[in-house]
Structure 1
């Protein structure tokens, strides 16, 4: 008969992560006690706050991890709440002792790829594209975060099917997680559908807090859903995240292309790189397999060509996402089309765009490194 020890139980608990923080509960000081009575095990776990939205997940995952140990009988998991001092220690272990939070994605050693998704005008599906790109990347095993930087027209929580509020631990904000994607939005801090009536400095401060006060963990990709146009938020993002690259979303018609070009040409002033252009609401695929250009054609390629000339660098058309009712339907029900209907025309095109994005232009794949052998 296998003897259950505290060491073996603690080893099992090391596989349980806090969903919001992404680190083992043993490393975060969340294991309050382990009591063993023969084959029966009782574990008490600290929650960061009393109203932790992930408490059921933590409790269930803890129980499952211990129950998987050979020879274990009954497993009991109870919960307690950290004291103010414990929360302060947790905050310091995650963020250090700095009084003012820094923006991790703006640091020279950051390995997070940052894309700001922009458009010249509203109604081109920029937010839907941001959410579907994020969910598609998360499905590939990447750690992804989304900042809903469209303060006045915030829509990311709805598109993600999230009603969860952000939670605070000391001066850190824990972002909700939906479909494997961490996301933050002003919509998580206002009541119902209340409007946000702020001037420019307040917008800047909100974006700064979303980037610096939120605990994102180690992200592979951060996507920012910018408001349409070239206003205060676009400028704030360029100042706070000078390494952010732009993804320009447009539609096929000439009017939208001209406006999108203005949004892209802003990069000349902010010195941001444009990764490429996405044409949304492209030709609609009909039931018989034929296509219909509901909004015209060629707008995306036109924007890409003009921006290539303006910036003096290659700005590719990354893809053309067809006008697909499923993209709208699954946006309304909070289950992005890339996970709810991956075989739909729009989901397939978005996956192709993601395939291009996740391969860095400066990748070493296939390049000779010029390494030689030196004899000593």
Structure 2
């Protein structure tokens, strides 16, 4: 069996939905001819569980003339690396990459987007966490169906509550009475955010989504100065008023050197559940135009959807993907783009550097 020819054929196989090849991603780890067939090991820096069958079919097609009648044994593994963050900010134990989700304005579906991007990546096989940084209005416990959960304590640290799908969730909503207002000034908010992040025992999280509050105030400033952020996602509706505030969020990230992985346009169109008529209630293509202006990807355009709202209110984010495949496809495509953008960043090797002690 001509192993070099097989390796060359594998290198040319295109990874579904990406425009990338196994060769460009250095994904081929080993090719071995054994008594029971041809064993191929592929390794990726991003989750591929959702495209595993399609990728296997492409490999089969690419090798059909080279492998002959030999059975193919294909293994797919994902090892997500820790990637670079802002200069001078140390990474967090148990967390590889942090993705901030911001809008600049409330009411555009930022928390919903955070929950569903996290759920999508978890379904792809990644280890995912969500930190609810909207301390005045924590909603992630409700959206993940763990509002009654309480974090355990282990060695002086809080253990995030694990929701369906394995998503690790931490929120101030677990620690305070949800019926009482959080009446805190900026410094207290910033301290609370850092405690929730740094004093939680995250369990080997590949991607931690931070659901930011609206605006560009103390929480966002703390995020940029003290929290290692790999990149950000900006959520908006097509409405002009929402776009004004979304641009402020964009400007904030640019000023603190946090890359923007893309723009997600929410509530792009309303589709009547009775007649199917679609109407652009909040305008058309505002998020698309913003993404084009920033020269970043448009991650998706999501309709104003009753099933999404019901799933978030009922805490069934995971079930939404089973019941609404069209909606699931949009969130999955958006989450995959984010994972690819993270993988394209330079890796962080600071943990390998020796510590310098001045005596």
Calculate the TM-score normalised by the size of structure 2: 0.66
Aligned position for 1:98: none
Larger Rg: 1
CA deviations on 1:159-216 (whole Å, 9 max, x unpaired) are 1111101121231111111111101111100124211111111111111111211000
The structure 2 residue matched to 1:146, chosen from 116, 121, 130, is 130
Aligned residues of 2:271 and 2:303 also touching (Cα < 8 A): yes
**Cα deviation, residue 363, structure 1:** 4.3
Aligned residues of 1:173 and 1:215 also touching (Cα < 8 A): yes
Q: Structure 1: which 5+ runs fail to align?
A: 1-104, 309-313, 365-376
Aligned position for 1:331: 312
Aligned position for 1:236: 222
CA distance in 1 between counterparts of 2:191 and 2:344 reads 35
Aligned length: 254
CA distance in 2 between counterparts of 1:124 and 1:242 reads 25
Matched, 1:203 2:189: yes
User: How is 1:254-333 mapped onto 2 (pairs within 5 angstroms)?
Assistant: 254-287=240-273, 289-306=276-293, 308=294, 314-333=295-314
CA distance in 1 between counterparts of 2:167 and 2:199 reads 18
* Residues 147/363 of structure 1: CA separation in 2 closer, same or farther (3 Å cut): same
User: How is 1:1-376 mapped onto 2 (pairs within 5 angstroms)?
Assistant: 106-107=90-91, 112-162=96-146, 163-179=148-164, 180-287=166-273, 289-306=276-293, 308=294, 314-336=295-317, 339=320, 341-360=322-341, 363=344
Aligned position for 2:55: none
Aligned residues of 1:331 and 1:337 also touching (Cα < 8 A): no
Say which is worse superposed, 189-198 or 213-222, in terms of deviation. Answer: 189-198
**Cα deviation, residue 359, structure 1:** 1.8
Aligned residues of 2:231 and 2:259 also touching (Cα < 8 A): yes
* Residues 284/224 of structure 1: CA separation in 2 closer, same or farther (3 Å cut): same
CA distance in 1 between counterparts of 2:334 and 2:185 reads 35
Aligned residues of 1:147 and 1:222 also touching (Cα < 8 A): yes
CA distance in 2 between counterparts of 1:224 and 1:111 reads 12
Calculate the TM-score normalised by the size of structure 1: 0.63
- The Cα RMSD (Å) is 2.2
CA deviations on 1:127-173 (whole Å, 9 max, x unpaired) are 01101111111111111110000000111101111110112123111
**Cα deviation, residue 239, structure 1:** 1.3
CA distance in 2 between counterparts of 1:210 and 1:345 reads 34
CA distance in 2 between counterparts of 1:170 and 1:109 reads 14
Aligned residues of 2:128 and 2:167 also touching (Cα < 8 A): yes
Aligned residues of 1:136 and 1:339 also touching (Cα < 8 A): no
CA distance in 2 between counterparts of 1:242 and 1:304 reads 24
Secondary structure of 2:267's match? strand
CA deviations on 1:295-345 (whole Å, 9 max, x unpaired) are 111110232233x2xxxxx32211101111100011111001664544354
Aligned residues of 1:330 and 1:340 also touching (Cα < 8 A): no
CA distance in 1 between counterparts of 2:171 and 2:343 reads 32
Asked which structure has the greater RCO (Cα within 8 Å, sep 6+), the reply is 2
Q: Structure 2: which 5+ runs fail to align?
A: 1-88, 346-359
CA distance in 2 between counterparts of 1:221 and 1:157 reads 18
* Residues 325/315 of structure 1: CA separation in 2 closer, same or farther (3 Å cut): same
**Cα deviation, residue 107, structure 1:** 2.4
